[in-house]
């Protein structure tokens, strides 16, 4: 299983299908040196989505939906990623985005199917980016039901914002990599405290 967007930041993927949501968030341009945005062009977006859907299928044991992305769909998927990251930031205690016409409350189609074993499965509907976004919202809903969504976070380093799955016992992680982002933030805070102390002398 290869979650290409998440792997390039050296992060372990979230369990099961939630890794699809994490990988979508990690298509953004981040890191040092900065990795490219995997939703920058239609070709890049299609390559990422094809691999992510194969990995999702392997992680969940379910057939991957066939999603066709047009050039117009890439903008929609890019905007959805932004809204998703904003909502995750709010869940972590960040400020709510300014209300306005650009703010979207996402409503996307899905279907419930009863299989021969009596199990109910949610299936994404729609076309293009809406179908991919429907799959992401389904996984988010399932993670809410199992209380694992609270462990999907974005790095507190605002220059990074990489999505990671917090595996700490008390769910207290705030950095995608404590050695990279955590140490840099602690060093900045230490220097600021020293400057403030020197100003008071």
The pTM for the full model equals 0.84
Q: Can you tell me the mean pLDDT for 89-93? A: 79
Does residue 85 contact residue 153 with C-beta atoms inside 8 Å?
no
Q: Can you tell me the mean pLDDT for 181-197? A: 59
User: 4, 5, 6: which is closest to 165 by C-alpha?
Assistant: 6
Distances (CA, A) of 38 to 42, 54, 57: 9, 17, 20
C-beta atoms surrounding 45 within 10 Å: 24
Tokens of 183: 């140490």
- What was the pLDDT predicted at 194? 60
Give φ, ψ of 111 to 5 degrees: -130, 150
Distances (CA, A) of 77 to 107, 118, 140, 180, 193: 14, 33, 16, 29, 42
> Which pLDDT band, with edges at 50, 70 and 90, does 156 fall under?
confident
In order, the DSSP letters of 92-161 are TTPPPPPPSTT-------EEEEE-TTS-EEEEE-SSHHHHHHHHHHHHHHHHHHTT-GGGEEE-S-TTT-
For the chain, the C-alpha Rg in angstroms (whole number) is 19
> Which pLDDT band, with edges at 50, 70 and 90, does 103 fall under?
very low
pLDDT at 183 over 80: no
d(CA 147, CA 128): 29
């Amino acid at each position: 299983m290869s979650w290409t967007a998440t792997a390039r930041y050296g992060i372990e993927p979230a369990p099961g299908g939630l890794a699809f949501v994490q990988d979508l968030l990690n298509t953004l341009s981040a890191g040092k040196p900065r990795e490219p945005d995997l939703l920058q062009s239609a070709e890049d977006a299609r390559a990422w989505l094809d691999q992510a859907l194969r990995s999702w299928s392997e992680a969940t044991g379910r057939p991957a939906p066939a999603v066709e992305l047009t050039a117009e769909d890439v903008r929609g998927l890019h905007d959805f990623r932004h809204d998703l990251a904003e909502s995750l930031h709010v869940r972590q205690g960040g400020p709510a985005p300014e209300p306005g016409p650009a703010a979207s409350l996402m409503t996307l189609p899905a279907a419930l199917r009863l299989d021969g074993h009596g199990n109910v499965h949610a299936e994404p509907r729609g076309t293009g980016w809406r179908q991919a976004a429907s799959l992401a919202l389904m996984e988010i809903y399932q993670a809410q039901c199992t209380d694992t969504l609270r462990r999907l976070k974005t790095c507190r380093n605002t220059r990074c914002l990489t999505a990671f799955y917090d595996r700490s016992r008390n769910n207290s992680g705030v950095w995608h990599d404590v050695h990279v982002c955590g140490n840099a933030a602690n060093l900045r805070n230490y220097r600021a405290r020293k400057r403030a102390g020197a100003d008071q002398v």
